[in-house]
Amino acid sequence: MIKFENNQDFVQNFIKKPLIVNNLEIKNRLALAPLAGTSDTIFRTFSSQYGAGLVTTELVSAKGICYDPYLTKNYRYLEINPKKDSKIAIQLFGHEPYSFQKAIETILEHPILKECHIIDINMGCPVKKVVKQGAGSALMRTPELAEEIVKTARAITESHNKLLSVKFRSGWDQSQINAVNFAKRLEAVGAELITLHARTRKQMYQGKADWEIIKKVKAAVKIPVYGNGDLSDLDSIMKMYQKTGCDGFALGRAAQGNPWIFKKILEPDVKVSKQEWLDLVCSHLDQMIAKTGDEQSAIIRMRSQLAYYLRGKKNSSSLKNQLMRPKSKEEIISLLKAVEFDE
């Protein structure tokens, strides 16, 4: 692990340095973690614009794609923008090797989706409806099945010259911390990149992330490791690196409503003006309207995102309630213009 004198040195000589994974060059060490309901193509484009070197789609069911070979239902979740995204990973979840095989083939034969750089397999989602299928973090309890899924997926990604990555957690619960052994097993059957969320499935998104497990995984494998969990700014990223020596940093909840976080890490002195904030939120709304083709549907889908954009603003609770009621774009913009902003 390289020693850095200060945060500025760390940014210039590590975070801004490309990460080379086999034949893929990722421009820096910052990644947008997959976020259900947030990391759609609109938000990923913003995150790429502000400096994220790697962005990942929302998780999509591999089995669902098998029943939707023309992607009439799933394309909205899989959609990528190769011209505007940084390096892009499409994330799949499931528990059947055959479903992954067919889903990845469908994706990599699609005229646009084949432009992705990485297929990412989710083995960390703690949500009940995913886990009860034997998918997500439930796969950490069935490592043989996880191996079979990775082996099957790698045979296809390798033939299409794409990387295969896996995201998982420290373990199922505190009595079953198996991330080190799990990582080694997946590396042995073809995983080329790991993102490790340093919480157990039982923790969900609560409690403190245990970065010690990232350190142990990093020491146990030769492939790159992204650390995930409790990253919120440059200081926390520096602390994670000093603790773990990981290769990259995946920011999740801290990026919701805050795509500027990547720019603030890369350029710590940067300030976001109210006008820049307003322009981006309005652009998000405009693009959502264009994407859905219906203003009312777009407004409903934007409500959670508007709540994220208001985090940390004065009287945010009151403003969130007010923004749940408008039925037109003009009403929303009027409320946003009234937001008090610390520049």
- What is the tally of structural domains in the chain? 2
Q: Which residue has the tokens 């020491």?
A: 219
CATH label of the domain that carries residue 114: 3.20.20.70
Of 134, 190, 188, nearest to 165 (Cα)?
190
Domain boundary pick from 266, 292, 326: 266
Residue 199 shares a structural domain with residue 321 = no
Residue 143 shares a structural domain with residue 45 = yes
Residue 102 shares a structural domain with residue 52 = yes
Of 30, 42, 39, 45, nearest to 59 (Cα)?
39
| Residue 21, both tokens | 């994974």
For residue 177, the 8-state DSSP code is B
Contact between residue 65 and residue 71 where contact means Cβ atoms under 8 Å apart: yes
Q: For residue 2, tell me if it sits in a domain.
A: no
For residue 11, the 8-state DSSP code is I
Q: For residue 152, tell me if it sits in a domain.
A: yes
Q: Which residue has the tokens 């886990």?
A: 131
Could you give the CA distance from residue 147 to residue 142 in angstroms, rounded to a whole number?
Answer: 9
Residue 294 shares a structural domain with residue 157 = no
**Catalytically annotated residue among 66, 125, 246, 282:** 125
Range of the domain at 297: 274-337
Q: For residue 1, tell me if it sits in a domain.
A: no
Q: For residue 52, tell me if it sits in a domain.
A: yes
- The CA angle 17-20-22, to the nearest 5 degrees, is 180
Q: For residue 259, tell me if it sits in a domain.
A: yes
Taking each helix axis as running N to C, give the angle between helix 329-337 and helix 316-323, from 0 to 180 degrees, rounded to the nearest 10: 170
| Residue 265, both tokens | 């890490």
Domain boundary pick from 242, 266, 290: 266
Beta strands in 57-161 (DSSP E): 60-61, 87-93, 118-123
Q: Compute the half-sphere exposure of residue 276: CA atoms within 13 Å on the CB side of its CA.
A: 11
3-class secondary structure per residue, 307-325? HHHCCCCCCHHHHHHHHCC
Contact between residue 64 and residue 74 where contact means Cβ atoms under 8 Å apart: yes
Residue 241 shares a structural domain with residue 198 = yes
Contact between residue 280 and residue 46 where contact means Cβ atoms under 8 Å apart: yes
Per-residue pLDDT of the chain (343 residues), as tens digits, is: 788 888 899 999 999 999 999 999 999 999 999 998 899 999 999 999 999 999 999 999 999 999 999 999 999 999 999 988 889 999 999 999 999 999 999 999 999 999 999 999 999 999 999 999 999 999 999 999 999 999 999 999 999 999 999 999 999 999 999 999 999 999 999 999 999 999 999 999 999 999 999 999 999 999 999 999 999 999 999 999 999 999 999 999 999 999 999 999 999 988 899 999 999 999 999 999 999 898 989 999 999 899 999 888 877 777 778 888 878 899 899 888 888 776 5
Identify the pLDDT of residue 84: 87
The amino acid at residue 5 is E
Residue 226 shares a structural domain with residue 322 = no
Residue 178 shares a structural domain with residue 113 = yes
Q: For residue 46, tell me if it sits in a domain.
A: yes
Specify the DSSP element, H or E, that contains 163: strand 163-171
Residue 225 shares a structural domain with residue 189 = yes
Residue 310 shares a structural domain with residue 161 = no
Residue 129 shares a structural domain with residue 165 = yes
pTM: 0.94
Specify the DSSP element, H or E, that contains 288: helix 274-292
Residue 259 shares a structural domain with residue 329 = no
Q: Which residue has the tokens 């990775």?
A: 150
| Distance from chain centroid for Cα 336 | 27
Q: Is residue 246 annotated as part of the catalytic site, yes or no? A: no
Residue 242 shares a structural domain with residue 151 = yes
| Residue 258, both tokens | 């805050």
Separation in Å, CA 202 to CA 33, 205, 230? 20, 9, 16
Q: For residue 342, tell me if it sits in a domain.
A: no
Domain boundary pick from 241, 266, 291: 266
Q: For residue 248, tell me if it sits in a domain.
A: yes
